[in-house]
Amino acid sequence: MPKINTVKGKIDPNDLGFTLMHEHLCNTSAGIPKAFPSLLDRSEAIDRAVNFLDEAEKEGVRSFIDVTTMDLGRDMDLIQRVADRTEIHIVVATGIWIDVPRAIDRGVSVDRLAEAFIRDIEVGLDGTSVKPGIIKVATDERGVTPVNETILRAAARASRHTGIPITTHTSAQDKVGIGQIKVFEQEGLDLSTVYIGHSNDTDDLEYLSYIANKGCTIGMDRYPGGRLGGLQWKERTQTVKNLIDLGLVEKVTLSHDYPMTMMLEDKAELERQSSAYNPDGIAFINRQVIPLLKEMGVTDEQIDIMMIDVPRRYFGGA
Ligand SMILES: [Zn+2]
C-alpha cells in the first residue's frame, strides 16, 4: 500500500481517519513571509492554528490537508511549528494556485515545471526535507488559459511519475472542473487520483455528477461559505444530500477552506468578521453540518464514507 507524506513523516492511508481535505494554516503571497516578516505576527498565527486544530481534534478530526502553495505564501517554518504541537496529521502541497508568478507565465515548459514539482516531492519543500503529499493546481473563472494548461499538464506528469494525487481549486459556477478533467485525461492520468475542489460553490447536480462519473472526488470544501454571497451552508448541505441520493456518496467529501490567518491590513476586523461568521472554525462540519445531514436522513455509515473512506481511497488506500 502507498504511504502518504505528512509534515512529520510517512503514514499509512489507514491512519488518516476523519480528514479535512482542503484547508490552510496560513495564507499570504509568494515571498512575503521572508521579505516582509513584520506583516505577520508569526507566533500569534501559530497559536491560532494550534487552537483551531485542538478544537477540531476534540470533534474527531484526525488529518488536515493544507493546500497552501508557494504563490499562497506557503511557510514551512510556520507549518512545522504547528505540526510539532498537534497530533493531527498535516499533509502539505506542492503546485501552483491562481497567483501564477510571472516567471512561470513567461515560457516555462510543461516538463521543466513537472521536474520542479517532482523535486519538491522527492527532495522536500522550500529547503526542508518535508515532502508534499498532494499537488495543488487552480483554474479560475477564465477557464483553462495557456499558462493554466501548462500547470495542469505539469501536475499530471508529476503525479504520474510519483503517485502523488492532485487537488484543484475551481470556479465551480463556471464549471471549470470539466476543462481540468479534459487536460488530465489527455495526460493519461488515473482520474481516481484527482480531487475537484470548491465544488459546493454550485448546486448544479449535472456538473457535480459529471465529476464523480469521471472517477474524480467531488470536494464540497467551502463551509460555511456564503460570506461573500453565493450559496449558504444549509443549501450546500442540501446539495450533499442530493448527491448521496444520486448514489454518489463514494465520491463526496467535505472540508472548510477556512481562512485561519491571512495577512491583511485590518487584521482585527477580519478576525471579528470571520469568528462572527463561523465561530466553530474547522470544527464547523462536525458541529453544524453533520448534525443537519443526520436530520436529513444521512446515516453514520455514509458520513464515515465521506470523511474517512473517500480520503483514504483517494490517497491510494484500499
Ligand atoms: Zn483553499
Could you write out the DSSP letters of every residue in 143-170? -S-HHHHHHHHHHHHHHHHH---EEEEE
- Compute the distance from residue 169 Cα to the ligand 1 centre, in Å: 7
Number of domain units in the chain: 1
Ligand 1 mean position, distance from CA 22 (Å): 6
How far is ligand 1, taken at its centre, from the CA of residue 27, in Å?
9
| CA–CA distance, 242 with 264 (Å, rounded to integer) | 37
Helix-strand-coil split of the chain, %, nearest 5 = 50, 15, 35
| Ligand 1: centre distance to CA 127 (Å) | 23
Could you read off the pLDDT of 11-46 as tens digits, one per residue? 999 999 999 999 999 999 999 888 988 888 889 899
R_g of the chain computed on alpha carbons = 18
pLDDT in tens, 233-274: 999 999 999 999 999 999 999 999 998 887 665 666 666 677
Distance CA 27, CA 235 (A): 27
Separation of CA 67 and ligand 1 centre (Å):
6
Distance CA 239, CA 225 (A): 13
CA 24 / ligand 1 centre spacing (Å): 6
Q: Give per-residue pLDDT as tens, 38-75.
A: 888 889 899 999 999 999 999 999 999 999 999 999 99
User: What pLDDT was estimated at residue 266?
Assistant: 65
Could you tell me the CA-to-CA distances from 175 to 109, 186, 187, 292 in Å, in that order?
26, 18, 20, 27
Give tens-digit pLDDT for 171-214.
999 999 999 999 999 999 999 999 999 999 999 999 999 999 99
C-alpha 138 to ligand 1 mean position (Å):
10
CATH number, domain of 103, equals 3.20.20.140
Distance CA(152)–CA(105), nearest Å, equals 13
**CA 198 to ligand 1 centroid distance, Å:** 8
Q: Sorting pLDDT into bands at 50, 70 and 90, what band is 80? A: very high
Work out the mean pLDDT of the chain and round it to a whole number: 95
Dist. CA 221 → ligand 1 center (Å): 8
Handedness of CA 55, 59, 61, 62 (dihedral sign): positive
CB atoms within 10 A of CB 115: 15
Cα(23) to ligand 1 centroid in Å equals: 6
Q: What is the pLDDT of residue 265?
A: 55
Residue 285 grid coordinates? 462540519
Domain that holds residue 91: 4-314
pTM above 0.85, yes or no: yes
